[in-house]
DNA sequence: AGCTGTGGCAACGCTT
DNA sequence: AAGCGTTGCCAC
């Protein structure tokens, strides 16, 4: 398996899976898997954490060096000093500075020494004291988790590290960029009883837990027997044995990844609490150390704990649906949970009553949840691995990151390669200052309301990234001396410019991202969807797009390390300039421009052909700077642009289109909003469909009247009346108590833990006074409860009336035969 | 369930 | 009744 290059030392190849840093032993531990699938641990003791002190321009460097060498800090009666100091020329913004790289023994020493050094005379500022050692190590050594690495070192005897092979080395290097082929992934889920509305780890035991993972591994552990159990069911004597069995399973499988859904908030803290009761520990860390379980972050080492909910919350666009396991599973893998156990009371009842068939059902339900977690993560992993590769960070970190952090660490990684000092985060005063300013964004046309035929839509491909690349927009290229009199990159309306001679740091990175993505897309177009390489190629272009698209927002983000208000302003200003220019060019060529929003233009063909529009597109593109490009997006045989409420003009961001395949594309309208009742949404969707497909207003009106009479006669299912809203604040923070807030208060009074993020489901019931006074919770509501007038006038009619008005339908005409619609 | 950005619509409560 | 502020969700 390993060959001997010289006496006593071994050359080993391994897939680097995870990494930890031990403050006590000051060692970096790399957890890996050999090509044969054996666990291996590599110890690196030689890596020294460091930070930078930048010298004041006029200060004597020798003197400063001397001073830095003499800095001592005290910690627990120990003297702390730098172990090494190196002078370096570093780039900071558009300047080159003299900096001292200060190496320390232990990452905790950085904070102690930094506190003193930053105040030293001769020190302009200190930097990079906030980079975690693990990340520093991976970035500085250009190591990519989950790819093949190598090391030469001496074999050690460290039984506590649970690895057949333990090697101590000076250096680890990357061997190639291919990911490990079949990482061992296990999904898990626990079931508990619950006395109140939510399980409490003080009183409620874990009654069942399941694993589902790679190589068709299945296991359910429980401590109440039922007859005819399937092979994968394991009965144990009690909760203690169940918890031990959890640990045993992990130890014997040594999975690379343990996946749960909301497991950082629920499953792991719960398991930890229950284990504590029996005096046992979670055996998830490969080096036998204790797992630090905190609500919201349970970092494990070696076997990486992944809570898929964290990644989904941050990166997937699932705004309208609730982020339940069921909703996410349906959306991503098209599978569902097993029915019948939605209410946690049900699980408690089944457990306590203990009927065979019901317990067997619970075990299936439990296993299905582990399966869903596993299969969802199999979908997400290719994208996450690409981000791991782009950022050189552990998978655990990637899973927790939001878009802003992804961009930030992408820049940090590349700053290292470019010999840059990483800019500092703003202090509080600076942050407040930044938060107080806003700037103008995209340009939107107000359309003329109406039904249109033959609409051609064009949009700029990655408008903001391509502007950054083509105009060299970057914090260091702003207002450079060398291009002061050069008008080429001047942004006239703002009075500042960007360098035309030297590539900027961010603009260059974005340019590369765009080029790389272009190359991958070319390959992707020639690759069959069934090809083995397809998912990875898709993930690659998606990861590149994600970073490129988020960079503009990151530069305008107040807490950004690379904050550049002028850059953000310039990007949107140029965006407005280009879209306005495009609109004008189309108009000059005789095309009718119906609508535009930020990076898209809607053309009504009228007497022109699609081919003419496409020919004209080529002309527009020929004058654009690379890599900017206007693309043909789609053709729509018909489209409806809605009126703005209370005004004569058309509404922006609200329209309906019909594709050539007969599919309805809705934007902004009630039918696609999460906070409208199903009855109103469905009615509006159907009306739009009838109008766009059949262009028959009377038929649409007839349909509305049918729905209304069903509502009046209470024939409508109560679930169609539910209004669902997500609370964005805690209850006591609201100054205005709308219906959803009242609903939240009712939930709260019933014992629910209501706060920011809680989703309320309510119905407006018959009654007097404000709407808020008529709120009842959806659960348990009956058809006799709903307020007929409210659902007709405030839901259905409001969703469809603006549409009928376009066709000159008065509301009397629409509600002909309806007598209760006096308000219209 | 927040913090990559701005633009925009519409409903409702609250105040006048 | 009218206008404004608050709120949530959506387009890009």
Residue-wise pLDDT for A424-461, tens only, equals: 999 999 999 999 999 999 999 999 999 999 999 999 99
The whole-number pLDDT of residue A757 equals: 86
Asked whether the predicted pLDDT for residue A821 surpasses 60, the reply is no
> Residue A76 has which token pair?
């627990």
What is the token pair recorded at A126? Answer: 């200190």
Nucleotides of C under 7 A from a protein CB: 5-12
**What are the distances in angstroms from CA A745 to CA A760, A770, A790?**
10, 16, 22
Phi, psi of A597 (to 5 degrees): -145, 105
Residue A738 Cβ < 7 Å to strand C: yes
The answer to whether strand C lies under 7 Å from the CB of residue A726 is yes
User: What pLDDT is attached to residue A648?
Assistant: 80
Whether any strand B atom is under 7 angstroms from the Cβ of A323: the reply reads yes
A757 touches strand B (CB under 7 A): yes
Q: Is A588 exposed, middle or buried, given 0-12, 13-18 or 19+ CB atoms closer than 10 A?
A: exposed
Percentage of chain A modeled with pLDDT above 70: 96
CB of residue A726 closer than 7 A to nucleic acid strand B?
Answer: yes
Pairing between β-strand A185-192 and β-strand A257-260 as defined by DSSP bridges: parallel
With a 7 Å cutoff on the CB, does A645 touch strand B? Answer: yes
Q: Hey, how many other C-beta atoms are within 10 angstroms of the C-beta on A525?
A: 8
CB neighbour list of residue A655: distance below 8 Å, 6 or more residues apart: A447, A595, A639, A640, A641, A642, A666, A667, A668, A669
Distance A411 CA to B8 C1' (A): 32
How far out from the chain centre does Cα A785 lie? 40
Taking 60 as the threshold, does the pLDDT of residue A337 lie above it? yes
- List the beta bridge partners of residue A293: A298
Q: Is any atom of strand B within 7 angstroms of residue A553's beta carbon?
A: yes
The yes-or-no verdict on residue A823 having pLDDT over 70 is no
Please give the average per-residue pLDDT across A594-610, as a whole number. Answer: 97
* Statement: the CB of A559 is under 7 Å from strand B: yes
- Alpha-carbon distance A208 to A226, whole Å? 13
Quickly give A466 CA vs B9 C1' distance in Å: 29
- Strand B near-CB residues (< 7 Å), A 594-623: 598
Q: Name the strand (E) or helix (H) holding A174.
A: strand A165-179
Residue A101: CB less than 7 A from any atom in strand C: no
In the predicted structure, residue A3 carries a pLDDT above the cut 60: no
Provide, in whole angstroms, the distance separating residue A284's CA from nucleotide B5's C1'.
Answer: 39
Q: What share of chain A is helix, strand, coil (3-state, %, to 5)?
A: 40, 25, 35
Residue whose CA is minimally distant from C11 C1':
A653
Per the CB < 8 A criterion, the answer to whether A324 and A194 are in contact is no
Any strand B atom closer than 7 Å to A439 CB: yes
Position A822 confidence tier, pLDDT thresholds 50, 70, 90:
very low
Peptide bond between residue A714 and the one before it cis (omega within 30 degrees of 0):
no
Choose among A55, A50, A136, A51: nearest CA to A95: A55
Residue A439, number of CB atoms within 10 A of its CB:
14
At residue A313, does pLDDT exceed 90? no
A651 touches strand B (CB under 7 A): yes
Is the CB of A41 less than 7 A from some atom of nucleic acid strand B?
no
Distance CA A497, CA A504 (A): 13
Mean per-residue pLDDT for A102-120? 96
Residue burial A178-212, b: 16+ Cβ < 10 Å; e: rest: ebbeebbbbbbbbbbbbeeeebebeebbbbbbbbb
Mean pLDDT confidence for A149-159: 95
Decide which of A287 and A576 is more confident: A576
Residue A753, pLDDT score: 87
Q: Is the pLDDT of residue A611 over 60?
A: yes
Tokens of A73: 């800090």
- Give the closest nucleotide to A549 (alpha carbon vs C1'): B4
pLDDT for the residue numbered A769: 81
Closest CA to the C1' of B5: that residue is A553
Give the DSSP letter of residue A669: S
Q: Give the nucleotide nearest to A551 (CA→C1').
A: B4
Per-residue flag: A647 CB under 7 A of strand C: no
A426 touches strand B (CB under 7 A): no
Confidence of residue A808 (pLDDT cuts 50, 70, 90): confident
Is A323 within 7 A of strand C by CB distance? no
The integer distance in angstroms from the CA atom of A475 to the C1' atom of C6 is: 36
Taking the C1' atom of B4, which residue's CA lies nearest?
A553
Those nucleotides of strand B lying less than 7 Å from any protein Cβ are 1-14
CA of A319 to C1' of B11 (A): 20
Four-residue CA torsion sign, A677, A683, A684, A689: positive
A708/A819 Cα distance (integer angstroms):
11
- pLDDT tens for A346-399 read 999 999 999 999 999 999 999 999 999 999 999 999 999 999 999 999 999 999
A320 touches strand C (CB under 7 A): yes
Q: How far is the CA of A456 from the C1' of C2 (A)?
A: 41
Nucleotide showing the shortest C1' distance to residue A446 CA: B8
Taking the stretch 674-713 of protein chain A, residues with Cβ within 7 Å of any atom in nucleic acid chain C are 674-675
From the Cβ of A756, is strand C under 7 Å away? no
Residue A722 Cβ < 7 Å to strand C: no
Instruction: Between A493 and A759, name the one with better pLDDT.
Output: A759
Give yes or no for CB of A653 within 7 Å of strand C: yes
**Token output for A119:** 């105040």
Asked if residue A728 keeps its beta carbon closer than 7 A to nucleic acid strand C, the reply is yes
CB atoms < 10 A from the CB of A229, how many?
16
Residue A735's nearest nucleotide, by CA–C1', is C6
Closest residue to C10 (CA to C1') is A668
Residue A2 has pLDDT above 80, yes or no: no
Mean pLDDT within A407-428? 97
The pLDDT mean for chain A works out to 93
Kindly tell me if the per-residue pLDDT of A818 is higher than 80.
no
Q: Report if CB A324 to strand B is under 7 Å.
A: yes
What's the pLDDT at A623? 93
Phi-psi region of A146 (alpha: psi -120 to 50; beta: other; left: phi over 0): left
């Amino acid at each position: 398996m390993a060959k001997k290059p010289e006496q006593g030392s071994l050359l080993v190849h391994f897939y680097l899976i995870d990494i930890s840093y031990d403050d006590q032993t000051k060692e970096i531990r790399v957890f890996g898997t050999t090509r044969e699938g054996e666990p291996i641990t590599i110890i690196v003791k030689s890596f020294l954490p460091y930070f930078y002190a930048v010298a004041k321009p006029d200060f004597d460097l020798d003197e400063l060096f001397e001073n830095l060498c003499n800095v001592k800090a005290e910690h627990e009666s120990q003297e702390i000093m730098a172990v090494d100091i190196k002078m370096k020329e570093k780039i900071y913004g558009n300047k080159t500075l003299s900096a001292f790289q200060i190496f320390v023994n232990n990452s905790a020493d950085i904070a102690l020494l930094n506190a003193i050094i930053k105040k030293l005379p001769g020190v302009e500022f200190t930097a990079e004291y906030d980079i975690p050692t693990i990340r520093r190590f991976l970035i500085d050594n250009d190591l990519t988790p989950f790819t093949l690495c190598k090391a030469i070192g001496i074999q050690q005897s460290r039984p506590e590290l649970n690895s057949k092979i333990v090697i101590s080395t000076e250096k680890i290097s990357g061997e190639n960029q291919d990911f490990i082929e079949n990482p061992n992934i296990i999904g898990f889920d626990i079931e508990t009883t619950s006395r109140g509305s939510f399980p409490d780890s003080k009183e409620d035991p874990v009654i069942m837990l399941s694993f589902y993972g790679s190589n068709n591994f299945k296991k359910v552990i429980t401590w109440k027997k039922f007859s005819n159990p399937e092979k994968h069911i394991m009965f144990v004597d009690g909760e203690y044995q169940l918890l031990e069995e959890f640990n045993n399973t992990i130890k014997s499988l040594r999975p690379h990844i343990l996946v749960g859904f909301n497991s950082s908030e629920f499953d792991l803290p719960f398991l930890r609490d229950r284990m504590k009761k029996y005096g046992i520990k979670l055996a998830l860390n490969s080096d036998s150390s204790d797992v630090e379980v905190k609500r919201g972050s349970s970092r494990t080492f070696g076997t990486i704990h992944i809570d898929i909910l964290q990644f989904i919350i941050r990166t997937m666009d699932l705004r309208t649906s609730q982020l339940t396991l069921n909703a996410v599973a349906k959306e991503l893998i098209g599978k569902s949970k097993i029915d019948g156990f939605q209410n946690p009371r049900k699980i408690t009842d089944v457990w306590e009553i203990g009927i065979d068939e019901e317990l067997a059902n619970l075990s299936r339900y439990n296993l299905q949840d582990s399966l869903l977690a596993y299969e969802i993560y199999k979908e997400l992993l290719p994208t996450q691995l690409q981000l791991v590769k782009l950022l050189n960070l552990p998978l655990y970190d990637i899973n927790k990151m939001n878009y802003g952090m992804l961009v930030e660490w992408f820049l940090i990684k590349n700053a290292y390669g470019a010999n840059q000092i990483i800019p500092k985060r703003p202090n509080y005063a600076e942050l407040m200052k930044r938060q107080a300013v806003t700037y103008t964004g995209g340009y939107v046309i107000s359309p003329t309301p109406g039904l249109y035929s033959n609409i051609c839509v064009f949009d700029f491909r990655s408008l903001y990234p391509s502007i950054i690349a083509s105009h060299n927009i970057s914090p260091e290229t702003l207002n450079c001396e060398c291009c002061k009199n050069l008008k080429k990159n001047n942004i006239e309306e703002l009075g500042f410019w960007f360098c035309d001679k030297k590539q900027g740091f961010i603009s260059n990175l974005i340019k590369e991202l765009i080029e790389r993505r272009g190359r991958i897309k070319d390959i992707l177009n020639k690759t069959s969807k069934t090809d083995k390489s397809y998912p990875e190629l898709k993930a690659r272009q998606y990861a590149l797009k994600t970073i490129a698209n988020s960079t503009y927002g990151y530069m305008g983000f107040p807490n950004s390390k690379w904050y550049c208000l002028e850059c953000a302003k310039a990007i949107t200003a140029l965006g407005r300039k280009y879209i306005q220019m495009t609109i004008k060019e189309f108009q000059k060529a005789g095309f009718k421009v119906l609508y535009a929003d930020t990076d898209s233009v809607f053309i009504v063909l009228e007497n022109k052909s699609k081919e003419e529009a496409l020919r004209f597109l080529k002309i527009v593109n020929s004058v654009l700077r690379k890599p900017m490009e206007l693309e043909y997006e789609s053709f729509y045989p018909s489209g409806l642009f809605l009126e703005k409420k209370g005004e004569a003009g058309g509404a922006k961001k609200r329209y309906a289109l019909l594709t050539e395949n007969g599919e309805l594309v809705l934007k902004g309208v009630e039918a696609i909003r999460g906070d409208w009742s199903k009855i109103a949404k469905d009615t509006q969707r159907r009306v739009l469909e009838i109008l766009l497909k059949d262009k028959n207003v009377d038929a649409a009106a007839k349909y509305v009247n049918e729905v209304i009479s069903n509502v009046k006669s209470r024939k409508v299912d109560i679930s169609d009346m539910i209004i669902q809203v997500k609370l964005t604040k805690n209850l006591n923070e609201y100054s205005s108590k709308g219906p959803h807030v009242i609903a939240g208060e009712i939930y709260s009074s019933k014992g629910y833990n209501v706060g920011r993020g809680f989703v309320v489901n309510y119905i407006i019931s018959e009654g007097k006074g404000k709407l808020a006074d008529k709120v009842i919770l959806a659960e348990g509501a009956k058809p006799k409860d709903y307020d007929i007038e409210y659902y007709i006038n405030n839901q259905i009619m409001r969703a469809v009336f603006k549409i009928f008005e376009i066709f000159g339908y008065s509301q009397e005409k629409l509600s002909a035969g309806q007598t209760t619609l006096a308000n219209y």
